[in-house]
Chain A
Amino acid sequence: MTTRTKAKANARRTLALDILNHGALALVALLFLFPFFWMVSNAVRSNAEVLAIPVRILPNVFEWDNFAKAWTTLPFGRFFINSVVISVSVTVITVLVSCLSGYAFARLKFPGRDKLLMAYLATLMVPSIMLIIPLFLIVNKLGMINTFQGVILPVAFGTFGSFLLRQFFLSIPLELEEAARIDGASRLRILVSIIIPLSMPAIGLLSLFTFIAQWNNFLWPLIVMTGADNATLPVGLTLFQTQQTTAWNYIMAGATLSMIPGVILAVVLQKLIYNSISLNAGMGGR
């Protein structure tokens, strides 16, 4: 009897500790989310209320149409579209180019293949900021400053995609394409109709991380897109930051806009992201 009550008391204590543990981390998570709340809360108030002293946690008057105003008048709508065009274009080019080169590295025999692959891997060690100046000069030379191709092309040929897809293609059984080869299908045909459909997880991952990297990219579009109309969302946000009277409420609305795709992707694709990161964790540095 006493052991049973003791066990019961113990179970109750662990349960209480469990609830406390969850509650405490939930509190930390809430504090962590505060900047998101602060952004939205300041996006939907008048600029006078943003700057009011003392600080108001919630606006006295909610101005929900600030989002619409920021979209049309500033024009964050235009910046949003620029960001979409650039990020999607870079992603599409990266995936296409990487599929072709990844397949060549995985399945085709040609002299110097392994050396070329090693050279591709070596380029991954060069930090992007190193290349900013020569890339700018090349784009300048090509007369592509302040153009979409000027901002898209130089960042669309990263070597990581070739490598990632090569690794995935190698895991596809050779037998699957040998049957098609015997039937006389070309390599391109095999790539398009057999390999690519089987590689959607890897292609999805490459697309996701390429898209996000470009969506969040700042320095490169800042340098190349010299015209205010061609700014991406992150660049656009800084354009209004320096004006005489900073419209903080609209900037916060623009910041909210710029965060929406990433937040949605992080929540919807959390499993894919976790799996890809845990692949890194499993391999971690070994």
Chain B
Amino acid sequence: MAVVERIAATRAVTRKRKSRPERGEGRTAFFFLLPSLIGVTLFLVVPIIASVVLSFTNWKLLGQPQFVGFANYIRLFTADPQFWPVVRNTLFFTFEYLVLNIIISLGLAVWISSLKMGQRWFRVIFFLPTFTPGIAVAIVWMLIFAPGGFFDFVMGALSIHLPNLLTDQKLAMQAVIIVSLWAGVGYNTVLFNAALDMVPANYLEAARIDGASAWDRFWKIRLPLISPTLFFGTVMTAITSLQVFDQIYVMTRGGPGSATATLGYSIFQKGFQNFQMGYASSIAWVMFAMIMALTAFQFWLQRKWVHYDN
């Protein structure tokens, strides 16, 4: 989003052309904007407001909603035994997934950029899952992880003794993370690879002539130069991973027990299985607060590692 705002800002400055105000232009603008405005109001503005209001009610779809003040939030933070484990699961997933995603996609991006031939084909291969339905991906992996399935078969052949991933309290989240990584590293791989392509070749050449090793050239030149892109990828990945739902719905339904229940899954469960619309809305706002907090934290952290060439 920051990209978008930046473009907006530059454009706003550079493109201030004088054009005579014209009669009827406002009216034309109104009709051009009308479809969008109706849609945005009905399906974006009203829902956002409704979501706030709902979170202060106890509406259960049937009957009249009653205003209950902060009762939903108080119940969440103090009384609901499922809430803190769910928050913990969500943070656990987000942290491990985010770190591994960035490491793997950066590694792949660097590896691809070291090739003399076929770069674009490798990019396409790793990008493929990004364009396929997450549900289908999760179902295929579920078959791989099924008891007695391919994963267990390989582990057996390697004499590694593991309980079945999907049915084990401790390992189920690892299975979800593996699937999410497979589905999710492609976008960042292409993103980082594109950024690496933009590092001027003469910088690297100059460093090589000065005797910098490949290792130094990576840590001291390429990494700082792509750090704004790395930051962008990290922020976007964090925002989406806090909302994780599809993989969990298919593979574990939050189980075994509540080992993989996340905030996204909780909203679905409370809202559309128990029809506690008010309570589920309050969980949604907790999630929004977490997204904002994590994003703000990353923006604070960027001063320490992101280099902008101003």
Q: Which 5 A-B pairs have the closest CB atoms?
A: A157-B39, A284-B229, A278-B194, A262-B131, A134-B47
Q: Which residue of A lies closest to B291 (CB)?
A: A127
Interface assignment of A135: CB less than 8 Å from any CB of chain B: yes
Q: How many interface residues does chain A have, given as a range?
A: 35 or more
Could you write out 8 A-B pairs with CB less than 8 Å apart? A29-B125, A97-B36, A174-B19, A238-B139, A258-B133, A258-B136, A277-B191, A285-B3
**Is A203 part of the binding interface, using a Cβ–Cβ cutoff of 8 Å?**
no
Quote the shortest CB–CB distance from B270 to chain A (angstroms): 9
- For the complex, count residues of B whose C-beta is within 8 A of A: 112
A residues within 8 A CB of B176?
none
Q: Distance in Å from the Cβ of B295 to the closest Cβ of chain A?
A: 9
- Give the contacting residue for B131; candidates A21, A108, A265, A281; CB below 8 A: A265
Once A133-B281, A157-B36 are accepted as A-B contacts, the answer to whether A274 and B267 lie under 8 Å apart by CB is: no
Stretch with Cβ within 8 A of B (4 or more), from A2-10, A59-67, A117-125: A117-125
Q: Is A121 a contact partner of B127 (Cβ separation < 8 A)?
A: no
Residues of B within 8 A of A (CB): 1-8, 11-12, 15, 17, 19, 21-22, 25-26, 28-30, 32-33, 35-40, 42-48, 50-51, 54, 108, 111-112, 114-118, 120, 122-128, 130-137, 139-144, 148-150, 153, 182, 187, 190-192, 194-195, 197-198, 226, 228-233, 235, 239, 242-243, 245-246, 249-250, 264, 267-268, 271-272, 277, 280-281, 284-285, 287-288, 291, 302, 306, 308
B46-A134 in contact (CB<8A): yes
CB pair A212–B43 under 8 Å, yes or no, is: no
A281 touches B194 (CB 8 A): yes
CA distance A274 to B228 in the complex (A): 18
Binary flags per residue of A253-283, CB closer than 8 Å to B gives 1, else 0: 0110011001101110010011001101111
Question: A284 near B232 (CB under 8 angstroms)?
Answer: yes
Check B42 against A129 for contact (C-beta < 8 Å).
no
Taking a contact as CB atoms under 8 Å apart, the answer to whether A223 and B272 are in contact is: yes
Find the B residue at minimum CB distance from A128.
Answer: B243
Contact B125 A33 (CB under 8 A): yes
Interface residue? A100 (CB, 8 A): yes
Rounded to whole Å, the gap between the CB of A94 and the closest CB of chain B is 10
Q: Is the CB of A109 within 8 A of B39?
A: no
Output the nearest chain A residue to B37 by Cβ-Cβ distance. A101
Asked if A274 meets B229 with Cβ closer than 8 Å, knowing A129-B284, A263-B128, the reply is: no
Assess whether A252 is in contact with B267, with CB atoms less than 8 Å apart: no
Cα distance A124–B7 when bound, in Å? 15
Assuming the contacts A110-B29, A157-B39, asked whether A133 and B150 have C-beta atoms less than 8 A apart, the reply is no
Which residue of B is nearest A191, CB measured? B32
Taking a contact as CB atoms under 8 Å apart, the answer to whether B28 and A108 are in contact is yes
**Bitwise interface map of A from 221 to 248 toward B, beta carbon under 8 Å scored 1, else 0:** 0010000000001110110010000001
